[in-house]
Structure 1
Amino acid sequence: MGRRQATPEERERGGALGRELQRRRNEREMTQTQLAGAAGIDLDALRGLEQGRYAHPSFFTVVALAQALDCTVEQIVEGLGDA
């Protein structure tokens, strides 16, 4: 069974999440390699998230990224605005 296609709204939220993750990473002067390592996720997965290619990241991935960025999931979600 394949994954269903993301709706335009889900793709927009995925893009907003990627922009927020990148903003927070840059704010902390971290490279993608550093963040991926700190979060324990694959570098290509992080790149895909930041580029908005993944509309449905796992909750555990977002939690790991939040911890590595020294923030909460709630703070990341708040940074998404109305996306």
Structure 2
Amino acid sequence: MRAADILPDHLDDGTFNGVSVRKGTVGAFLANARVWANPLTSANERTTAENDIVDALPALRALGLFDVLAIRDAGLQALVDSH
């Protein structure tokens, strides 16, 4: 299956398991996870990344991301588990 089979190029979002998910949600989660886990990240940037991670969790769960991929960073896993 290709990305276009899930969400065609002309669409910016789709509904998965009853949740609207924007194109780019998984990529944004990965980028925010890198920022959040980086010890050189400022407190303000870390807070912004954390808020964006938490906001994306319903969509990521609707996609089943955490059913097939495990988070290796214990702190990030704890953040995800707490929401």
TM-score range, shorter chain: 0.3 to 0.5
Q: Which has the higher contact order (CA 8 A, sep 6+)?
A: 1
TM-score for both structures, normalised by structure 1:
0.33
In terms of fraction of residues, the more strand-rich structure is 2
